[in-house]
A and B are shown apart, each in its own frame.
Chain A
Amino acid sequence: MSKITRRIFLFTGAAVGAGLALGVGYLSTVDTDGLSPGEGHDGAAKLNAWVEIRPDGKVRIAVPRAEMGQGVYTGIATLIAEELEIALDPATVIVEHPDELLPVYTNFVGALNKRPEDISGPIDWVMKKVYASVPFILTGGSSSIVDGYHSMRVAGATARTMLVEAAAARLGVAPDSCKAENGRVLHAESGRSLSYAEVVQDAAKRTPPSSPKLKAQSEFKLIGTDAVKRVDIPDKTRGAAKFGIDVDLPGMLIATVVQSPVFGGKVKSVDSSAAMALPGVKKVVDLGSAVGVIGETYYHARKAADALKIEWDEGAGAELSSAGISAEYLKSIETGQPYVARNDGDVDAALKNGQAIEAIYETPLLAHACMEPMNTTALWKDGKFEIWSPNQSPTVVRWGALKANDQAKDVAIHTTIMGGGFGRRADSDMIVQAAQLAVAMPDVPVKLVWSREEDTQHDAYRPSATMRARAVLGSDGKPAAIDFRNATQSAFLSFSKRNMPFEMGGDKDPANLEGAVEMPYEVANVRVATSTIETPVPLGFWRSVGNSNTGFFVESFIDELAASAKADPMDYRRELLKHEPRRLAVLDMLKEKSGWATKLDGAGRGRGVSLHTSFRSHVGEVAEVTVGSDGTLKVDRVVAVVDCGQTVNPNTVKAQVEGAVIFALSALMYGEITLEKGRVTQSNFDTYDMVRIAQAPKIEVYIVPSTELPGGIGEPGTPPLFAAVTNAIFAATGKRVRKLPLSGQGYMFA
């Protein structure tokens, strides 16, 4: 580990310390611009770290963010294409994740948790250079467009300027008498033109301009329009898109694993005689907390895995149960010492000034259940790793591979597209295993494929949480005090222990309370506090992370307060958001588009509203439900209004919100990972069910027109859905749902 540790410096204090250790001289050499031209791939000329043009005219756009369905290949390419003046046509543009882990590919927004526009001053400079020297490459936190909005347009404009200058020189005219259009440089006066391919070799020898002029928003031809179709869709309708699980290499073998059914358990003994006697089985490998089987095909590996006789040393994890964790949360709320993240006014005093309203909300552990089960292909050859992986962070992949052998001379990483990510593929558990298997089978590529059962029972789960909310209302019915007291487990602590060279998180983990701390309603006395317990349950980042819990808690409770005040829940929120113009505008549009003022026809019908801000975007949702007298629930319609600032691809914004609504709805209706004797009760889609087309509501998404800087969009549609539906159930039935999922609360789904 020491070798890895030396390479990695993360998070403010450590980063600044590491920066001082490395020295300003060294840090100055770390390239955080990426604008130098050079030689590209496959004979292409490279104009900068993102743009290459091949002799045949095809433009290669390197997108160092992982495509997991969120449309990032298209989104980043759109930013570049806008300034580069090319059409984003899959026939002429190749968009791919680069293999090189260049410092400039660092996700600076993810690393510094600041907009690029706000990154300034000497400390930020040091941190930016330190993260780049790792480099810290991550797709998550709905940050790709926020991070790239400026720098990717600069990359496009820089490349275009060099192409124009090169063409002008060739034509013997002044560069500013030429203009770029659709992959060509035109000289209108003489009617002559040159294609980018014709001049790119010259262009790649030029010095990049220091600050190319970017288009004004009003000049955008692609950004914010429906002109661009997703570049990855045609292949995805033909079975031609290559996911990680589709990697195929000469001589490749296929492996699967059986992991300790109890978290933290170890292999005590393994009898592989029956497994090895089966046809097509190559090797059984003890991986410490799992046993791997390598065979000719997944079928052979699976049969052999089923024939293994494994004894486990289960350890302390065998005592865990969901009921026990819930009890610990409650105890921790009543008697624990919380970390107070926000403390406005005097909450304790204010709570004594009236009849306290109190509610306790509970959420379960959730699995990601990506459609593509966890997998990784690894090759160990000549003391080096080569990894093919659907992953959200090549940086974490690299650390994972080095855990299998920290003497490795190199780790080459090919990042494939992903069959869903949702945060799960930021983890390296499957990377470590694949690398271990590769070391056991040198010179042979080994593709590790988990079964769906392993995927469900060994996820990096969304932490469960319990929130006690208390409030008193003033004589005007508005809240005079709100006290949020949360108990949960720290996702960052669990994640960092598994995946990073040092620990972080715990009580102060921002993921515990994000979305509650920033609760936007105007209330004089507010306290937001949490405590955490620690268990061996592996935890991670699930679409919208802590917001998936806090969105439900805050928006359920504010609805309860509106009901106590006998106020309309939409107008109650609007009244408390008078000082928040963007949020208020979202609610105003939502009120209109949802037809909030109209009456719903039919028995058992209700409408609920919810508003949540996350990842720099505001999303309001109204759900319409029908609840039968037998508890049958149908979510009929969801109307969403989004303010994510300047959009890049509006149709993708809509798709992401539609998808987030369905994703949250599956969790709301069915999603629950439970533990008994340390084992996950659920195993496959028959026990961890999902919304299908029949249960999917009609979804309408409206975008607030905006020229503000972009916010994220992959995640922000998720948090508001939970309370929008449960508040609608209240409107329909007068019953509050305070514990999720609905399937555990007597609701059934048609």
Chain B
Amino acid sequence: MTKFAVNGKDFETNDPGDMPLLWALRDRLKMHGTKYGCGIGACGACTVIIDGQAVRSCQVPIANLEGKSITTIEGLAPAETPTAVQAAWVAEQVPQCGYCQSGMIMAVTALLARSPNPTDTEIDEAITNICRCGTYPRIRLAIHRAAGMSASAAPVAPATTEAGHE
């Protein structure tokens, strides 16, 4: 038995401890916003936030999660009040196919939480996720836009325990 919280809701599982968090989210909790891309931690499509850190959930066995609090893309904000990052993503019309964007948004959310106004070099170092549609130039613009927005208004990172869970 492993217990952890996802977007503020408690979750218990008897699945084997080596089951990656990614598959617990997708195939047990039916939360499909977190995506499978590579299974080896190389692409970042499965990025979630655990204890403020962007983590590739395909590399996290659920045995390591006892008592942890996890935020997924679904837990960021209700649809009508997007976070600064989500709003910037819409404003810059970032996504194309959109498959990598949950992971991108989670990685950027964690980056802005620790570095509210990142330089391009910081962005290059922190955001190593793959986008096959090539939305990188817009992602960079959107990160800077979100940094500007969050300086003034909406919170960058959600309070993990209070965020809505769809």
Q: Is the CB of A655 within 8 A of B73?
A: no
> Does B65 belong to the interface (CB within 8 Å)?
no
**Residue of B23, B73, B82, B140 with most partner-chain A CB within 10 A:** B23
Measured CB to CB, the nearest residue on chain B to A665 is B134
Interface residue from B30, B33, B82, B99 paired with A419 (Cβ < 8 Å): B99
Q: Mark A408-421, 1 if CB is under 8 A from B, else 0.
A: 00000000011111
A373 CA / B31 CA spacing, docked (Å): 18
Q: By DSSP majority rule, is chain B's interface helix, strand, loop, or mixed?
A: loop
Q: Is the CB of A371 within 8 A of B19?
A: no
> Does B4 belong to the interface (CB within 8 Å)?
no
Nearest-neighbour CB distance to chain A for B83, whole angstroms, equals 9
The A-contacting residues of B in range 128-146, CB under 8 angstroms, are 128-140
Measured CB to CB, the nearest residue on chain A to B79 is A238
Residues of A within 8 A of B33 (CB): 238-240
The B-contacting residues of A in range 583-638, CB under 8 angstroms, are none
> Does A22 belong to the interface (CB within 8 Å)?
no
> Does A53 belong to the interface (CB within 8 Å)?
no
Q: Which stretch from A98-106, A326-334, A683-691 is at the chain B interface? A: A683-691
Q: Is the CB of A298 within 8 A of B27?
A: yes
- Given A69-B133, A233-B90, A660-B134: A241 touches B98 (CB 8 Å cut-off): yes
Q: Is the CB of B39 within 8 A of A237?
A: no
A232 CA / B98 CA spacing, docked (Å): 9
Q: Is the CB of A685 within 8 A of B82?
A: no
Q: Is the CB of A69 within 8 A of B96?
A: yes
Residues of A within 8 A of B129 (CB): 692-693
Q: By DSSP majority rule, is chain A's interface helix, strand, loop, or mixed?
A: loop
> Does A468 belong to the interface (CB within 8 Å)?
no
Q: Is the CB of B132 within 8 A of A248?
A: no
Residues of A within 8 A of B124 (CB): 692-694
Measured CB to CB, the nearest residue on chain B to A694 is B124
- Given A297-B27, A419-B35: A692 touches B128 (CB 8 Å cut-off): yes
Q: Mark A51-90, 1 if CB is under 8 A from B, else 0.
A: 0000000000000000111110000000000000000000
- Given A70-B96, A693-B139: A661 touches B127 (CB 8 Å cut-off): no
- Given A297-B23, A371-B97: A684 touches B38 (CB 8 Å cut-off): yes
Nearest-neighbour CB distance to chain A for B119, whole angstroms, equals 12
> Does B57 belong to the interface (CB within 8 Å)?
no
Residues of A within 8 A of B86 (CB): 237-238
Residues of B within 8 A of A699 (CB): 137
A48 CA / B136 CA spacing, docked (Å): 39
Q: Mark A120-149, 1 if CB is under 8 A from B, else 0.
A: 000000000000000000000000000000
Count of A interface residues, CB-CB < 8 Å: 64
Q: Is the CB of A685 within 8 A of B97?
A: no
A640 CA / B146 CA spacing, docked (Å): 27
> Does A221 belong to the interface (CB within 8 Å)?
no
Q: Is the CB of A661 within 8 A of B134?
A: yes
> Does A730 belong to the interface (CB within 8 Å)?
no
- Given A239-B72, A658-B138: A692 touches B28 (CB 8 Å cut-off): no
> Does B105 belong to the interface (CB within 8 Å)?
yes
Q: Is the CB of A693 within 8 A of B39?
A: no
Q: Is the CB of B130 within 8 A of A692?
A: yes
The A-contacting residues of B in range 57-101, CB under 8 angstroms, are 72-74, 76-77, 79, 82, 86, 89-90, 93-101
Q: Is the CB of A298 within 8 A of B101?
A: no
Q: Is the CB of B73 within 8 A of A69?
A: no
- Given A71-B96, A418-B97, A690-B130: A245 touches B36 (CB 8 Å cut-off): yes
Nearest-neighbour CB distance to chain A for B110, whole angstroms, equals 15
Q: Is the CB of B90 within 8 A of A234?
A: yes
Q: Is the CB of B36 within 8 A of A449?
A: yes
Residues of B within 8 A of A659 (CB): 96, 133-135
A369 CA / B90 CA spacing, docked (Å): 25
Measured CB to CB, the nearest residue on chain B to A663 is B134
> Does A681 belong to the interface (CB within 8 Å)?
no
Q: Is the CB of B95 within 8 A of A297?
A: no
Q: Is the CB of B36 within 8 A of A373?
A: yes
Q: Is the CB of A684 within 8 A of B42?
A: yes
The B-contacting residues of A in range 391-443, CB under 8 angstroms, are 417-422
Interface residue from A68, A233, A240, A658 paired with B89 (Cβ < 8 Å): A233
**Residue of A279, A419, A422, A690 with most partner-chain B CB within 10 A:** A419
Q: Is the CB of B132 within 8 A of A420?
A: yes
Q: Is the CB of A420 within 8 A of B72?
A: no
Nearest-neighbour CB distance to chain A for B33, whole angstroms, equals 2
Measured CB to CB, the nearest residue on chain B to A686 is B42
Q: Mark B25-57, 1 if CB is under 8 A from A, else 0.
A: 011101111111111101101000000000000
A239 CA / B100 CA spacing, docked (Å): 10
> Does A698 belong to the interface (CB within 8 Å)?
yes
Interface residue from B36, B128, B132 paired with A369 (Cβ < 8 Å): B132
A665 CA / B131 CA spacing, docked (Å): 13
A310 CA / B23 CA spacing, docked (Å): 26
Interface residue from A68, A371, A451 paired with B45 (Cβ < 8 Å): A371
Q: Is the CB of B42 within 8 A of A685?
A: yes
> Does B8 belong to the interface (CB within 8 Å)?
no
Q: Is the CB of B136 within 8 A of A693?
A: yes
Residues of A within 8 A of B26 (CB): 297-298
Q: Is the CB of B23 within 8 A of A372?
A: no
Q: Is the CB of B82 within 8 A of A237?
A: yes
> Does A578 belong to the interface (CB within 8 Å)?
no
A663 CA / B136 CA spacing, docked (Å): 11
Nearest-neighbour CB distance to chain A for B134, whole angstroms, equals 3
Interface residue from B79, B101, B137 paired with A236 (Cβ < 8 Å): B101
Nearest-neighbour CB distance to chain A for B103, whole angstroms, equals 9
> Does A93 belong to the interface (CB within 8 Å)?
no
> Does A370 belong to the interface (CB within 8 Å)?
yes
Measured CB to CB, the nearest residue on chain B to A687 is B42
A297 CA / B24 CA spacing, docked (Å): 9
Interface residue from B32, B90, B138 paired with A229 (Cβ < 8 Å): B90
Q: Is the CB of B93 within 8 A of A229?
A: yes
A253 CA / B90 CA spacing, docked (Å): 35
Interface residue from A70, A371, A663, A691 paired with B37 (Cβ < 8 Å): A371
- Given A71-B96, A684-B40: A254 touches B137 (CB 8 Å cut-off): no
Q: Is the CB of A658 within 8 A of B40?
A: no
Q: Is the CB of B73 within 8 A of A238?
A: yes
> Does A299 belong to the interface (CB within 8 Å)?
yes
A236 CA / B105 CA spacing, docked (Å): 10
> Does A7 belong to the interface (CB within 8 Å)?
no
Q: Is the CB of B32 within 8 A of A698?
A: no
> Does A662 belong to the interface (CB within 8 Å)?
yes
23 contacts between A and B (CB under 8 A): A238-B77, A238-B82, A238-B86, A239-B31, A240-B79, A245-B36, A297-B26, A299-B16, A299-B19, A369-B132, A370-B99, A371-B35, A452-B37, A452-B39, A659-B135, A663-B134, A685-B38, A685-B40, A692-B130, A693-B127, A693-B136, A694-B124, A694-B128
B residues near A (Cβ < 8 Å) are 15-16, 19-20, 23, 26-28, 30-40, 42-43, 45, 72-74, 76-77, 79, 82, 86, 89-90, 93-102, 105, 123-125, 127-140, 166
Apart from A233-B90, A237-B86, A254-B27: 4 A-B pairs, beta carbons within 8 A:
A71-B96, A239-B32, A419-B35, A419-B97
- Nearest 10 CB-CB pairs, A to B? A239-B33, A662-B134, A419-B99, A69-B97, A236-B98, A239-B73, A69-B96, A297-B27, A694-B124, A659-B134
